[in-house]
Amino acid sequence: MAAIVRYNDLGLVNTKEMFEKAMAGRYAVPAYNFNNMEQLQAILVGCVQSGSPVILQVSGSARKYIHPVFLVHMAKGGVEMVRDMGSSIPVALHLDHGDTFELAKSCIDMGFSSVMLDGSHHPKEENMRLTRQVVEYAHPRDVTVEGELGVLAGIEDKVASEVSHYTRPEEVEDFVAKTGVDSLAISIGTSHGAYKFKLKPGESVPPLRFDILEEIERRLPGFPIVLHGASSVMPKYVEEINRFGGSMEDAAGIPEEQLRRAARSAVCKINIDSDGRLAMTATIRKIFAQKPSEFDPRKYLGPARDELIEMIRYKNEHVLGSAGKA
Ligand code: G3H
Ligand code: 13P
Ligand code: ZN
């Protein structure tokens, strides 16, 4: 078993102050997922360049892909790179969609500053029990915890759901009071992945359920809300992927205007994974198509990293409102 590492020793912070500032300033902190070095570098450089706080997000399967021990060193190296660039932006390392107490505990013991226990697929009582158990381990170690009520359609790490169940506002006060979570992920019409809506010809994307969000805000004044499945599935990347040999015909995401509206509300954390994947894939496909003899990974992963930096700067500045807030 690996040595116990505290997140402060890695130069990380938990999400408490980030969310307090985001709530007061009416913006959302970006939570970008990563699985490899280029993604991690791009997220950090994009947030340094835009002066944004950042939550680095790792799913259980991404942690396994990287290796849990290696991940600790990546996070430490990432923060040191940020400081070497002369930046003091706050950086949190967060477990995305943790599904067991053991996984959350292991992450806390290995330097994560924040964890999610996603018990949304369990009956409510079991969700509350598991979430409470994680809070009891996390809080004495000053680690923040995100819970979830309601089910998003799409894939949440190992758990896939065909249909979404909106969060029931009448359940949120009890859940927050009994579990002690620091933030709550809710379901108001977003979903995971690049195929968020099955649209018939001529149909447009249905609006998010802001009425549910407003009722939750009324019941939990000042409490940080989290939006998962918040990629826009940026059309320019989908078009590029399709132009250069890919096939993502029905991909569709959340319109930016709706995310801007959410970011101005009690939504303090917006999760983005798919858009980052699309940005890199589009760039790599284009290079492979235009330079078929290229075989140096730096020549396609480097430009993919550059494109991801641009995407992150754009999101922070024009969608989440977090640019300049670090
Ligand atoms: O919400 C799920 C995230 O996009 C992570 O996905 O399990 O494929 O790493 P993953
Ligand atoms: P997207 O698939 O919309 O990027 O959602 C990511 C997410 O919610 C990670 O937890
Ligand atoms: Zn998610």
Q: How confident is the model over 10-33, as pLDDT tens digits?
A: 999 999 999 999 999 999 999 999
What is the chain's mean pLDDT, rounded? 95
Residue % of the chain over a pLDDT of 70: 96
Q: Is 76 exposed, middle or buried (0-12, 13-18, 19+ CB in 10 A)?
A: middle
Ligand 1: which atom is nearest the Cα of residue 158?
7
Q: Is the dihedral of CA 247, 274, 51, 112 positive or negative?
A: negative
Q: How confident is the model over 223-260, as pLDDT tens digits?
A: 999 999 999 999 999 999 999 999 999 999 999 999 99
Q: How confident is the model at residue 198 (pLDDT cuts 50, 70, 90)?
A: confident
What b/e sequence results for 106-120 when a residue is b if at least 16 CB atoms lie within 10 Å of its CB, and e otherwise?
bbbbbbbbbbbbbbb
Q: Is 6 exposed, middle or buried (0-12, 13-18, 19+ CB in 10 A)?
A: middle
Ligand 1: centre distance to CA 276 (Å) = 12
Segments forming the whole domain that contains residue 73: 15-320
Residue with the nearest Cα to atom 7 of ligand 1? 157
Ligand 1: centre distance to CA 86 (Å) = 31
Contact 35, 65 (CB under 8 A): yes
Q: How confident is the model over 91-112, as pLDDT tens digits?
A: 999 999 999 999 999 999 999 9
Ligand nearest to the CA of 279: 2
Q: How confident is the model over 35-59, as pLDDT tens digits?
A: 999 999 999 999 999 999 999 999 9
Q: What pLDDT is recorded for position 153?
A: 72
Q: Are strands 159-161 and 225-227 parallel, antiparallel or unpaired?
A: unpaired
Q: What pLDDT is recorded for position 298?
A: 98
Contact 39, 280 (CB under 8 A): yes
With respect to residue 2, please indicate whether it lies within any of the assigned structural domains.
no
On the question of pLDDT at 83 being above 80, the answer is: yes
The letter for the amino acid at 225 is: I
**Ligand 1 binding residues, C-beta < 6 A:** 33, 59, 61-62, 96-97, 156-157, 192, 273
Of 99, 92, 107, 105, which is closest to residue 271 (Cα–Cα)? 92
With respect to residue 312, please indicate whether it lies within any of the assigned structural domains.
yes
Written in H, E and C, the secondary structure of 13-68 is CCCHHHHHHHHHHCCCEEEEECCCHHHHHHHHHHHHHHCCCEEEEEEHHHHHHHCH
Q: What pLDDT is recorded for position 326?
A: 98
With respect to residue 6, please indicate whether it lies within any of the assigned structural domains.
no
Q: How confident is the model at residue 3 (pLDDT cuts 50, 70, 90)?
A: confident
Q: How confident is the model over 204-226, as pLDDT tens digits?
A: 888 999 999 999 999 999 999 99
Ligand 3: centre distance to CA 192 (Å) = 6
Q: What pLDDT is recorded for position 200?
A: 79
Task: Please tell me the distance from the alpha carbon of residue 322 to that of residue 173, in angstroms, as a whole number.
Answer: 28
Q: How confident is the model at residue 161 (pLDDT cuts 50, 70, 90)?
A: low
Q: What pLDDT is recorded for position 162?
A: 60
Q: What pLDDT is recorded for position 159?
A: 53
The tokens of 62 are what? 């991404």
Q: Are strands 154-156 and 159-161 parallel, antiparallel or unpaired?
A: antiparallel
Q: Which residues surround ligand 3, an ion (CB under 5 A)?
A: 228, 271
With respect to residue 1, please indicate whether it lies within any of the assigned structural domains.
no
With respect to residue 7, please indicate whether it lies within any of the assigned structural domains.
no
The yes-or-no answer on residue 96 being catalytic is yes
**Ligand 2 binding residues, C-beta < 6 A:** 33, 96-97, 192-193, 228-231, 271-275
User: Both ends of the chain: CA-CA distance in Å?
Assistant: 35
Ligand 3: centre distance to CA 163 (Å) = 15
Mean pLDDT across 166-177: 97
Give the CATH number of the domain where residue 246 resides.
3.20.20.70
Q: What pLDDT is recorded for position 155?
A: 55
With respect to residue 155, please indicate whether it lies within any of the assigned structural domains.
yes
With respect to residue 4, please indicate whether it lies within any of the assigned structural domains.
no
With respect to residue 273, please indicate whether it lies within any of the assigned structural domains.
yes
Q: How confident is the model at residue 75 (pLDDT cuts 50, 70, 90)?
A: very high
Q: What pLDDT is recorded for position 1?
A: 61
Q: What is the pTM of this model?
A: 0.96
Total number of domains constituting the chain: 1
Q: Is 234 exposed, middle or buried (0-12, 13-18, 19+ CB in 10 A)?
A: buried
On the question of pLDDT at 68 being above 70, the answer is: yes
Name the residue of 33, 56, 270 to mutate for ligand 2: max ligand atoms within 8 A of Cβ. 33
